[in-house]
Amino acid sequence: MSDQANKRRVRDAYEAFSRRDLGPFMDAIADDVDWIDPLPPDHPVGGVFRGKNEVARYFEELGKLATFKAFDVVDIVAEGDTVVAFLHLETTMRHNGRDFVGDSAHVWTFADGVAIRYRIFADTARIMAAFRGD
Protein backbone atom coordinates (compact mmCIF):
# COMPACT_ATOMS: atom_id res chain seq x y z
CA MET A 1 0.00 0.00 0.00
CA SER A 2 1.07 3.57 -0.52
CA ASP A 3 1.87 5.86 2.37
CA GLN A 4 -1.34 7.78 1.61
CA ALA A 5 -3.39 4.56 1.76
CA ASN A 6 -1.77 3.72 5.11
CA LYS A 7 -2.51 7.25 6.32
CA ARG A 8 -6.18 6.89 5.31
CA ARG A 9 -6.37 3.54 7.10
CA VAL A 10 -5.07 5.13 10.30
CA ARG A 11 -7.47 8.08 10.02
CA ASP A 12 -10.40 5.70 9.46
CA ALA A 13 -9.37 3.62 12.50
CA TYR A 14 -9.26 6.67 14.77
CA GLU A 15 -12.54 8.06 13.44
CA ALA A 16 -14.20 4.72 14.19
CA PHE A 17 -12.55 4.54 17.64
CA SER A 18 -13.96 7.97 18.50
CA ARG A 19 -17.42 6.47 17.79
CA ARG A 20 -16.53 3.46 20.00
CA ASP A 21 -16.27 1.17 16.98
CA LEU A 22 -13.14 -0.99 17.20
CA GLY A 23 -13.76 -2.89 13.96
CA PRO A 24 -11.69 -0.69 11.63
CA PHE A 25 -8.94 -0.44 14.25
CA MET A 26 -8.69 -4.21 14.59
CA ASP A 27 -8.86 -4.62 10.80
CA ALA A 28 -5.90 -2.25 10.43
CA ILE A 29 -3.54 -4.36 12.57
CA ALA A 30 -1.83 -7.65 11.74
CA ASP A 31 -2.82 -10.86 13.50
CA ASP A 32 0.63 -10.89 15.14
CA VAL A 33 0.98 -7.12 15.76
CA ASP A 34 3.38 -5.85 18.42
CA TRP A 35 1.44 -3.22 20.41
CA ILE A 36 3.65 -1.17 22.74
CA ASP A 37 2.27 1.10 25.46
CA PRO A 38 4.94 2.99 27.47
CA LEU A 39 3.08 2.76 30.78
CA PRO A 40 4.74 0.53 33.39
CA PRO A 41 4.06 -3.21 33.05
CA ASP A 42 2.20 -3.19 36.40
CA HIS A 43 -0.37 -0.79 34.89
CA PRO A 44 -3.29 -2.69 33.27
CA VAL A 45 -2.50 -1.30 29.80
CA GLY A 46 1.27 -0.92 30.15
CA GLY A 47 3.81 -3.01 28.30
CA VAL A 48 3.86 -5.05 25.12
CA PHE A 49 0.77 -6.78 23.78
CA ARG A 50 1.26 -9.32 21.00
CA GLY A 51 -1.46 -10.28 18.58
CA LYS A 52 -5.05 -9.23 18.08
CA ASN A 53 -6.34 -11.16 21.10
CA GLU A 54 -4.04 -9.27 23.46
CA VAL A 55 -4.88 -5.96 21.76
CA ALA A 56 -8.59 -6.72 22.24
CA ARG A 57 -7.82 -7.31 25.94
CA TYR A 58 -5.90 -3.99 25.97
CA PHE A 59 -8.97 -2.13 24.71
CA GLU A 60 -11.20 -3.95 27.19
CA GLU A 61 -8.95 -2.87 30.08
CA LEU A 62 -8.70 0.67 28.70
CA GLY A 63 -12.50 0.88 28.66
CA LYS A 64 -12.64 -0.22 32.29
CA LEU A 65 -10.01 2.35 33.30
CA ALA A 66 -10.98 5.56 31.58
CA THR A 67 -13.75 7.50 29.93
CA PHE A 68 -12.62 9.50 26.91
CA LYS A 69 -14.00 13.04 26.88
CA ALA A 70 -11.86 14.03 23.89
CA PHE A 71 -9.96 11.95 21.38
CA ASP A 72 -8.83 14.40 18.73
CA VAL A 73 -6.55 13.62 15.82
CA VAL A 74 -4.37 16.72 15.48
CA ASP A 75 -2.32 15.53 12.52
CA ILE A 76 -1.27 12.40 10.69
CA VAL A 77 1.96 12.14 8.71
CA ALA A 78 3.09 9.26 6.56
CA GLU A 79 6.36 8.27 4.96
CA GLY A 80 6.69 4.89 3.34
CA ASP A 81 5.52 2.18 5.73
CA THR A 82 5.45 4.49 8.77
CA VAL A 83 2.48 6.58 9.86
CA VAL A 84 2.57 8.88 12.89
CA ALA A 85 -0.65 10.16 14.43
CA PHE A 86 -0.55 13.13 16.80
CA LEU A 87 -3.47 13.08 19.22
CA HIS A 88 -4.98 15.25 21.92
CA LEU A 89 -6.62 13.22 24.69
CA GLU A 90 -8.87 14.09 27.60
CA THR A 91 -9.86 11.24 29.88
CA THR A 92 -11.35 10.67 33.30
CA MET A 93 -10.19 7.71 35.37
CA ARG A 94 -13.25 5.65 36.27
CA HIS A 95 -11.97 4.45 39.65
CA ASN A 96 -11.05 7.86 41.11
CA GLY A 97 -12.50 10.60 38.90
CA ARG A 98 -9.09 12.11 38.13
CA ASP A 99 -8.55 13.68 34.72
CA PHE A 100 -5.70 13.32 32.29
CA VAL A 101 -5.35 15.94 29.56
CA GLY A 102 -2.42 15.66 27.20
CA ASP A 103 -0.99 14.88 23.83
CA SER A 104 0.30 11.63 22.44
CA ALA A 105 2.01 10.31 19.34
CA HIS A 106 1.22 6.88 17.94
CA VAL A 107 3.64 5.32 15.47
CA TRP A 108 2.23 2.69 13.12
CA THR A 109 4.56 0.48 11.06
CA PHE A 110 2.85 -1.18 8.10
CA ALA A 111 3.61 -4.24 5.99
CA ASP A 112 1.26 -5.58 3.33
CA GLY A 113 -1.46 -3.09 4.24
CA VAL A 114 -1.69 -3.82 7.98
CA ALA A 115 0.16 -2.51 11.01
CA ILE A 116 2.76 -4.94 12.29
CA ARG A 117 3.85 -2.57 15.07
CA TYR A 118 2.01 0.11 17.02
CA ARG A 119 3.95 2.21 19.52
CA ILE A 120 2.56 4.91 21.78
CA PHE A 121 4.53 7.91 23.03
CA ALA A 122 2.88 9.81 25.87
CA ASP A 123 3.50 11.66 29.13
CA THR A 124 3.47 8.56 31.29
CA ALA A 125 4.21 10.46 34.52
CA ARG A 126 1.04 12.54 34.15
CA ILE A 127 -1.03 9.52 33.13
CA MET A 128 0.20 7.57 36.16
CA ALA A 129 -0.47 10.56 38.46
CA ALA A 130 -4.10 10.60 37.30
CA PHE A 131 -4.29 6.80 37.62
CA ARG A 132 -2.91 6.87 41.18
CA GLY A 133 -4.97 9.93 42.13
CA ASP A 134 -1.94 12.12 42.90
Q: Where are the domains of the chain?
A: 3-132
- Between CA 77 and CA 50 the distance in angstroms is 25
- Quote the pLDDT of residue 44: 93
- Quote the pLDDT of residue 15: 95
Q: How many helices (H) and strands (E) does the chain have?
A: 4, 6
CATH fold group of domain 3-132: Nuclear Transport Factor 2; Chain: A, (3.10.450)
- Quote the pLDDT of residue 93: 97
Q: Which residues of the chain have pLDDT under 50?
A: none
Those residues whose C-beta lies under 8 Å from the C-beta of residue 109, and which sit 6 or more positions away, are 81, 82, 115, 116, 117, 118, 119
Q: pTM of the predicted model, to two decimals? A: 0.93
Closest by CA to 48, choosing from 58, 36, 57, 33, is 36
